[in-house]
Chains A and B, each alone.
Chain A
Amino acid sequence: MSTAGAGTGKGAGLREWLLSEQPASRRQARLGLGYRTWLAFRANGLGMVGLGIVTALILVAIFANVIAPHDPLIGGDLRTERLLPPSLDHLMGTDELARDIFSRVVHGARLTLLVVALVAIIATPIGLLVGTVAGYFGGIVDTVLMRLTDIFLAFPRLILALAFVAALGPGIENAIIAIAITSWPPYARLARAETLTIRRAEHIDAIRLQGASSGRIIWGHVMPLCLSSVIIRVTLDMAGIILTAAGLGFLGLGAQPPQPEWGAMIAAGRRFLIDYWWVATMPGLAIFVVSLGFNFLGDGLRDVLDPKADR
């Protein structure tokens, strides 16, 4: 749905071409569908707000060096610039090491985006693989894999992530691994459900008759069809991933100081909460706005792409 949006301002010709009832090519049909989805999504106010917030997050993460007015790791003069309240020079004030909180929040966007992206990159293929293999083969393979999935679902997510981080040791890499390990089971369930409907389809029978191996069928013909619904589900989960990462950071098990991770920044500001409220409040606000953005976006996407759900 991202490709079609670019064409909105280029005049009526393109718009008509996109909305044509008789597309001349497969590409036109596909772009037209994307454009219609985009039009439906654009009418969803909260969804657009979410899209704006997520876009802003990505831009801030890319241009963090340009946007941040100060160094995120090296503070100013410890005698005069510690714990300053928000002002024009320090938009969000300074922390206990005289570092500019706004610059740290801006650089923290990179860490947040890194966590979300890596968890998605690790957990999606695991869930997709487990789910499609279980659904395609059925029988004992299905039972074993799905019971394994159930076991992971039996732990509350944060508790399991905590136990993994405790075993692997604190740090942002281990936090990412722990969150990924706890994230894949719902994707596996979803991919399995999709596979169960796909594997009965005639085109799969046709490929099998041509002598394709199971691996080839799963990789080339089942997985691509499951991909879109799993990706929507991952988008819906991203706010949860951010909150889990922030929670681990808050407990001191995620990113380690002096990294400007938002959860860890709140934990550091906790000691100064009563007299210097901004130290803990500002990074929390950043977490809140970003996960609200992902939730709005996911909610809007679901409304457009799955009209049955929750309406």
Chain B
Amino acid sequence: MSGTSAPGGVVGAGDRPARRRPAWLDRIAALFGTLAVTLFGLLLVTFLIGRVVPVDPVLAVVGDRASQSTYDAAYIELGLDQTLFEQFRRYTARALSGDFGESLLTKRPILDDIRRAFPATLELATVAILIGTLVGVPLGVWAAVRQGTLVDQVVRVVGLVGYSAPIFWLGLLGLLLFYAKWGLVAGPGRIDIAYEYSFTPITGLLLIDTAVQGQWAAFRNVVSHLALPACLLGYFSLAYIARMTRSFMLAELGQEYIDAARIKGVSERRIVWVHALRNAAVPLVTVIALSYASLLEGSVLTETVFAWPGLGLYLTNSLLNADMNAVLGCTLLIGVIFVGLNLLSDLLYTLLDPRVRRGS
């Protein structure tokens, strides 16, 4: 992609530190500058991908039996007679107003489809990151405290296995064992059809919808569907979170304030879980936010395996049907979420770390 270097005027905006203002304000301004440039880049990349598609976008709209005049009319309507720059300008304007065109598959606006699919992905990713954090952080702390022992080695191998196993394969094996063989969990999908209309969708997050309306049978069914994919995704984020927790904790435990606390007679448990962990938590927030973002990526394969009607499944279905509008809309949206979470973690970091906040 070396030929796609962006026009010079836009790149590099808002990154120059000024003198007087507090450092954290500069930092936040710089972050938003970066955000604007990155979003522009996301638009440019998706636009260019849309341009290199070998599929003729006109034929995709009018079908290959259309007459020449219909073809020409559609050609002009799609704006393909304009210069590339003008096309990009229109694409940007439409994308910024939330218009990504219509899906060839569902005949609905892309944004509607995405709005419909997103809660499923959000629910799965949120439960997964909770599992990953609640298990991963203690594991990482434990490994750091017992550095070099068997516990440390086991945590390390658990992490490396998480990095190495193809998630779609583990998902299939999980379905084979826990669903087909032992019947411990429900199968693919989010909810059994028997429960699907027993409550009114409010948030689209089925756990909340069913619980609020007191539909406990449906709630249990949702949990049973959610358990396997959420544990799987949770395991994959756990691998990363535990590893990073371990190395942050090791850095903290080597500091002098830990020695000072020990000399004062603070209990070892308090030193590890309060003194050290609180400081390790600052960079850890970034790590957790990043793995939350990457769960969206991992969920493409997981959703395919579990027929989970979220963003990932929508994206793959559109891909297999050459529905480029939907593919690019999803790619752009996932990119935006990814950037947004990155920004959020940077902001949190700025607010949590007193050294950055005071700008020393």
* CB–CB A273/B176 < 8 A: yes
* CB–CB B180/A162 < 8 A: no
Residue with the highest number of chain A CB atoms closer than 10 Å, among B6, B12, B172: B172
Decide yes or no whether A310 CB sits under 8 A from chain B.
yes
Enumerate chain A residues within 8 angstroms of B176, measured Cβ to Cβ.
273-274, 277
* CB–CB A150/B41 < 8 A: yes
If A288-B165, A292-B164 touch, whether A155 touches B301 (CB-CB below 8 Å) is no
* CB–CB A273/B172 < 8 A: yes
Enumerate chain A residues within 8 angstroms of B37, measured Cβ to Cβ.
147, 150-151
Decide yes or no whether A243 CB sits under 8 A from chain B.
yes
Question: B residues 35-52 with Cβ under 8 Å of A?
Answer: 37-38, 41-42, 44-46, 49-50, 52
CB < 8 Å neighbour of B297 from A144, A159, A167: A159
Decide yes or no whether B166 CB sits under 8 A from chain A.
yes
CB < 8 Å neighbour of A156 from B164, B172, B297: B297
Decide yes or no whether A6 CB sits under 8 A from chain B.
no
Enumerate chain B residues within 8 angstroms of A157, measured Cβ to Cβ.
297
Binary CB contact string for chain A from 286 to 311 against chain B (1 if under 8 A, 0 otherwise): 01100110111001000000000011
Enumerate chain B residues within 8 angstroms of A291, measured Cβ to Cβ.
163-166
Binary CB contact string for chain B from 222 to 238 against chain A (1 if under 8 A, 0 otherwise): 00000000000000000
Looking at the assembled complex, report how far the CB atom of A147 sits from the nearest CB atom of chain B, in whole angstroms.
5
Looking at the assembled complex, report how far the CB atom of A178 sits from the nearest CB atom of chain B, in whole angstroms.
10
Looking at the assembled complex, report how far the CB atom of B5 sits from the nearest CB atom of chain A, in whole angstroms.
6
Binary CB contact string for chain A from 254 to 273 against chain B (1 if under 8 A, 0 otherwise): 00000000010010001001
Looking at the assembled complex, report how far the CB atom of B43 sits from the nearest CB atom of chain A, in whole angstroms.
10
Question: A residues 240-254 with Cβ under 8 Å of B?
Answer: 240, 243, 246-247, 250-253
Decide yes or no whether A158 CB sits under 8 A from chain B.
yes
* CB–CB B331/A163 < 8 A: yes
Interface residues on A, range: 35 or more
* CB–CB B163/A239 < 8 A: yes
* CB–CB B319/A251 < 8 A: yes
Question: B residues 267-326 with Cβ under 8 Å of A?
Answer: 293-294, 296-298, 300-301, 304, 315-316, 319-320, 322, 324
Looking at the assembled complex, report how far the CB atom of A253 sits from the nearest CB atom of chain B, in whole angstroms.
7
* CB–CB A252/B320 < 8 A: yes
Enumerate chain B residues within 8 angstroms of A281, measured Cβ to Cβ.
169, 173
Enumerate chain B residues within 8 angstroms of A143, measured Cβ to Cβ.
11-12, 15
Binary CB contact string for chain B from 155 to 177 against chain A (1 if under 8 A, 0 otherwise): 01100110111101100110110
Secondary structure of the A contact surface, majority rule: helix
CB < 8 Å neighbour of B338 from A147, A154, A247: A154
Decide yes or no whether B328 CB sits under 8 A from chain A.
yes
Enumerate chain B residues within 8 angstroms of A296, measured Cβ to Cβ.
160
Question: B residues 127-165 with Cβ under 8 Å of A?
Answer: 156-157, 160-161, 163-165
Decide yes or no whether A113 CB sits under 8 A from chain B.
no
If A166-B322, A287-B169 touch, whether A159 touches B8 (CB-CB below 8 Å) is no
Decide yes or no whether B241 CB sits under 8 A from chain A.
no
CB < 8 Å neighbour of B49 from A167, A251, A288: A167
- A240–B42 Cα distance when bound, in Å, is 23
Decide yes or no whether A116 CB sits under 8 A from chain B.
no
Decide yes or no whether A160 CB sits under 8 A from chain B.
yes
* CB–CB A253/B319 < 8 A: yes
- A130–B1 Cα distance when bound, in Å, is 11
- A130–B4 Cα distance when bound, in Å, is 13
Enumerate chain A residues within 8 angstroms of B34, measured Cβ to Cβ.
150
* CB–CB A155/B335 < 8 A: yes
Enumerate chain A residues within 8 angstroms of B322, measured Cβ to Cβ.
166
Enumerate chain A residues within 8 angstroms of B50, measured Cβ to Cβ.
167
If A163-B46, A164-B49, A250-B301 touch, whether A154 touches B339 (CB-CB below 8 Å) is yes
Decide yes or no whether B194 CB sits under 8 A from chain A.
no
Enumerate chain B residues within 8 angstroms of A280, measured Cβ to Cβ.
169, 172
* CB–CB B293/A156 < 8 A: yes
Q: Which chain B residue shows the least CB distance to A309?
A: B247
Enumerate chain B residues within 8 angstroms of A250, measured Cβ to Cβ.
166, 168, 301, 304
Looking at the assembled complex, report how far the CB atom of B222 sits from the nearest CB atom of chain A, in whole angstroms.
24
- A90–B180 Cα distance when bound, in Å, is 26
* CB–CB A292/B300 < 8 A: no
Residue with the highest number of chain A CB atoms closer than 10 Å, among B160, B169, B330, B334: B169
* CB–CB A288/B169 < 8 A: yes
Enumerate chain A residues within 8 angstroms of B6, measured Cβ to Cβ.
144, 147-148
* CB–CB A166/B324 < 8 A: yes
CB < 8 Å neighbour of A162 from B11, B160, B319, B338: B319
If A144-B11, A163-B327 touch, whether A239 touches B164 (CB-CB below 8 Å) is yes
Looking at the assembled complex, report how far the CB atom of B64 sits from the nearest CB atom of chain A, in whole angstroms.
18
Residue with the highest number of chain A CB atoms closer than 10 Å, among B6, B54, B297: B297
Binary CB contact string for chain B from 1 to 25 against chain A (1 if under 8 A, 0 otherwise): 1101110100110010000000000
Pairs of residues from A and B, 4 with the lowest C-beta to C-beta distance, nearest first: A151-B41, A156-B297, A284-B169, A292-B164
Q: Would you give 26 A-B contacts (Cβ < 8 Å), ordered by A?
A: A46-B157, A150-B37, A150-B41, A151-B44, A152-B1, A154-B41, A154-B42, A155-B45, A158-B297, A158-B300, A159-B315, A159-B331, A163-B331, A167-B52, A167-B53, A167-B324, A168-B54, A251-B319, A266-B166, A266-B172, A273-B180, A288-B169, A291-B166, A294-B164, A295-B163, A299-B160
Q: Contacts A144-B11, A151-B45, A287-B166 given; 14 further ones with Cβ under 8 A?
A: A147-B11, A147-B38, A148-B5, A150-B41, A151-B41, A154-B38, A162-B331, A167-B52, A169-B54, A251-B300, A252-B320, A263-B166, A284-B169, A288-B164
